[in-house]
Structure 1
């Protein structure tokens, strides 16, 4: 029979091994903490791209001039046309900013309208995404109310055409967009689609306006799909029903059935909120409710899309 063999070490060799392991831990810790800023920095751009993040990650360095741009959010009387500083056709409408690589522009923005607005700079030619970090003022979820303002900056890291916009969904398409031209970049020509020849068809039947006569409240008031686009006011279908009546003490519920965010705010676009009720930003799919105990008329509107108006009569 073969006897089992056991390999033993001495206390001295064990101590030596422990000293080596401790030394490795100390050196590794020193390296880790000396590069602390690196370890906690943002992931590589490819990681962000794989994760679907379109936010620019490049950091531009200010090496040139500093430009100041004062911008005011304004709206047409019907709230359908939006702009910076002046309405289309007027001097100063959406002023173009020209700068060189390394220059910095400081934006001082103020909301001189009655709607909610927010601000940012993007390289995207459409939409409200891709906002450069540091260029934001407020956000669609926490926008600037009337009279509020803020300051941000954008540093030109490369030649190209960039855009300062209102980042509230839909407001860019209504006119709140201006160009930032860096260096000798050429502004892309706007695509003008050819208007097709009209086809001989039966004249479209005009949609009759929805009656403004009040109806008894019998369930949630809908903010319908597409109400964030001008046009629903022509048929009183921005809130459905447009005008309801209810006994005092009734809980009135609104349901945002649109993909755009809205508000349900007591008051009127001309005079602003009256402070009786306000849903704040109401994302698509959410509801808001209020109980009104005092008889009277309660007009309301959407601060984001002020053409949206409705009315409640409490009996």
Structure 2
């Protein structure tokens, strides 16, 4: 854009100068007109230039580049994001990964285990699961010096295709390493954005399905505005022959059929919920750098109970963001950068809005927003149905406890969902039988915000926090199934008898 402005300014100066020259009697007007036309033809068109103009950085020769400062951090494990460098000049960014092949829990709550293949920082033996791999952060114009080691203890050859890299196979051809080998490439970061990387060796779908993927962020020369929190997220799929507890194997046919057994965030069910939930304060902005590793399904990324205040489609950071979006589409092998604001205290639920992937297969994360309520944005009105002269005579009330830990992610439609001995339990009573006119009070003894919401819309508590309660008087005979909006696996019933 600077080049465009300079070129147009030079053309304008030239034209003015020629105009002055033409006012002299000794100069041929036709000659001046010809020169003006030449200048105008050579000047970039203001409207067309953004599409036709090169956005590639001006290269500083590699021989003149220095390594990044010793204090600069360029890698981190999900969901952490390396801090922005703050540099205004390019440098050499050195990153060294090693392959990790291990059996790990991909559904810790039920004990489903799978042999994942992934990436970790070289020598980091404390990391047993490299799925997703570490996030890399560089700056446009930087040279990435990337090294991949495949330990001698590995079983398979591997490599890495970095979508941020321009070169054969995104570097895959020159990073192919058999067990015991190490290879290095250097690549210029040409375009800013959030890019996927993955193994591209042999049966590429199989290697990705085993967990060999991650993300690389290339910051633009003019960095994005500072926000209070940044998060690294990857959506991916597992294709297993079972979802029962124990070690499961790959179902290669379901991989071909594009029918995953699990769809997850950050490599496993529960990786961004329960004890791993994200947190933010009211008024803060969270920026999420998101990659859809697929390998087959597009993602319909949506924050239940919030909005994307800003979306950079395809994570293309040279372009202005969309403002005020509800759901953004992320192609398999693509990315996005989204921002949301903590407007009110609540639990925001991050989902793929092809919702069977969320509630049946695991693509669910949570953000707990804490702080002062703002009734100008959201307020629950009333504590239930007010009594009237025609209401049935009041009877002794009932109390239902929302039990501690009920917010931890569970399977939807569990066979014991409404059983008295449901495990793990969400409520102290799963099927409450009462007489018409009874007032039921729900007490939140969990650490998270909840709602009590009838599936058919008969009542809705709104959010109520730990230690708070909400009451509703049932004056109609019938069966009322209810659930919690931010934790929809929490389901129970009230049966009202005449």
TM over 0.5: no
Q: With structure 2 as the length reference, what TM-score do the two structures score?
A: 0.27
Hey, which of these two has a bigger chunk of strand by percent? 2
Q: With structure 1 as the length reference, what TM-score do the two structures score?
A: 0.40
Higher relative contact order at CA 8 Å, sep ≥6: structure 1 or structure 2?
Answer: 1
